[in-house]
Amino acid sequence: MSSPASAPAPAPVDKSQVGIGERQFHIAVAPGEVSSVALLPGDPFRVPFVAEFLTDVREVAHNREHRTMTGWYKGRHITATSTGMGCPSTAIAVEELARVGVTSFIRVGSSAGLQPRIEPGDLLVSEGSYRNDGTTSAYVPVGFPAVPDIELTLALARHSARIAEDAGTRSFSGISVSDDAFYAETPEWIDQLHRMGILNVEMEASALFVVARLRGLRAGMVCACSSNLVAGASLYDEKNGALKDGWMRSIEAALETAVELEL
């Protein structure tokens, strides 16, 4: 008879394997409930903005900061899931959405401009993210780049430029930065980013790009400009009208990209 001391120790949990094929713990979505492409706003209350473009809309789940709705756009089945703010919750959303069948991701968020001429409501397409976050360092070494899918990004840039021109605004493409600490962005840090030529700052893209790359998924980002930090303007100074209009244009650009590439 074995003594308790000789019983084999339990193996540590392998998080890459738990929950496969099940309803996901954080986003509360199960396999078969979503499409192959997901638009990712940060705010759960912006998921209905995506739904305004869709037909046959259905709310799938709303758990914590993650709200999911599905519908149809020009013959394509579309999912919208909010990531919440920051890289940790974004990484969770992407990992769990991938487990239930999503293979392409387009972030449609808010971002502050860091170069002259960028105004609230303008569209900002990321060509890569400077990883100033902690989450991605748990996945990959410091030198690993956070880059989006090239074909997806080029399509986003084309549609964003066309939609912005039709609206009388502008679209820009460039390197973004993902910061962890919103209120730790000092004037010195903002000036340094500006001098490096960084286009805009937000809080989620680096995790989206890194996780997607590691998992063999496609990802891109188009944001609406919320304010211009090098012009001395913060979110507290700007009116929300231009930003909301920018959100809607970014969603349209993402949806048109999904249709063109059959995501």
Helix ranges (H only) for 134-182 are: 150-167
Contact 141, 255 (CB under 8 A): no
Nearest alpha-carbon partner for 84 in 72, 76, 94: 94
Question: Given the structure tokens 């309803």, which residue do they identify?
Answer: 23
Tell me, what amino acid is at 120? P
Structure tokens at 174: 């460039």
Q: How far is CA 213 from CA 14, 101, 107, 156, 163, in A?
A: 20, 16, 15, 18, 28
Question: Given the structure tokens 């249709």, which residue do they identify?
Answer: 259
Structure tokens at 75: 């013959």
Tell me, what amino acid is at 25? F
Structure tokens at 102: 């999503």
Task: List pLDDT tens digits, range 175-218.
Answer: 999 999 999 999 999 999 999 999 999 999 999 999 999 999 99
Tell me, what amino acid is at 143? G
pTM score: 0.95
Residue 49's pLDDT is 98
Query: What's the DSSP call for residue 248?
Result: H
Tell me, what amino acid is at 85? M
Query: What's the DSSP call for residue 43?
Result: S
Task: List pLDDT tens digits, range 250-262.
Answer: 999 999 999 999 9
- Hey, what's the torsion of the CAs at 38, 43, 46, 48, to 10 degrees? 70
For the chain, which ranges sit under pLDDT 50?
none
Structure tokens at 84: 């919440």
- Average pLDDT along the chain: 95
Burial of residue 195 (CB within 10 Å: 0-12, 13-18, 19+) is exposed
E-assigned strands of the chain? 37-40, 55-63, 66-73, 76-81, 104-113, 123-132, 171-179, 200-202, 218-228
